[in-house]
Structure 1
Amino acid sequence: MKQQLTHLDDQGNAQMVDVSDKAVTVREAVAEGGITMQPETLKMIVEGGHAKGDVLAVARIAGIQAAKRTSDLIPLCHPLMLSKVSVDLVPDLDSSSVRVTAYCKLAAQTGVEMEALTAVSVACLTVYDMCKAVDKGMVISSIQLREKKGGRSGHWQAE
Structure 2
Amino acid sequence: MSDTSPNSKLTHLNAAGQPSMVDVGQKAVTRRVAKARSRVVLGAEILKLVQAGDLPSHKGPVFQTAILAGVMAAKKTADLIPLCHPLGLDDCQVRIEVTSHDTITIECTATVTGKTGVEMEALTGASVAALTVYDMCKALSHNILIQETRLIEKTGGKRDFHHVDE
Q: Could you tell me the TM-score, scaled by structure 2's length?
A: 0.92
Contact residue 149 and residue 156 of structure 1 kept, 8 A: yes
1:90 aligns with 97
- Structure 1 residue runs of 5 or longer lacking an equivalent are none
**Which among 72, 75, 79 is matched to residue 68 of structure 1?**
75
DSSP 3-state at the match of 2:74: helix
- Specify the code of the residue in structure 2 equivalent to 1:139: L
SS at match of 2:95: strand
Determine which of 56, 61, 72 is the counterpart of 1:54. 61
Identity %: 43
> Which residue in 2 is equivalent to 1:113?
119
Aligned to 1:104: 110
- Are 1:17 and 2:22 counterparts? yes
* Cα-to-partner distance string for 1:44-92 (whole Å, 9 max, x where unaligned): 1000011103100000000000000000000110000100000001123
Comparing 20-29 and 1-10, the one that deviates more: 1-10
Shift of 1:144: 0.3
In structure 2, C-alpha distance between the alignment counterparts of 1:140 and 1:39, rounded to whole Å? 15
In structure 2, what is the Cα distance between the partners aligned to 1:135 and 1:93? 18
Q: 1:139 aligns with which of 131, 137, 145?
A: 145
Aligned partners of 2:99 and 2:150: how far apart in 1?
19
Distance 1:97 1:5 in 2: 35
TM-score by length of 1: 0.96
Which of residues 115, 124, 128 in structure 1 aligns to 2:134? 128
Aligned residues: 157
Letter of the 2:40 partner, please give it: I
Match of 2:3 in 1: none
Give the superposition deviation at 1:135.
1.1
Measured against aligned partners, the alpha-carbon deviations of 1:8-64 in whole angstroms (never above 9, x if no partner) come to 112211111000000100000011111102211101100001110310000000000
Q: Report the aligned-residue RMSD.
A: 0.9
Q: Which residue of structure 2 aligns with residue 6 of structure 1?
A: 11
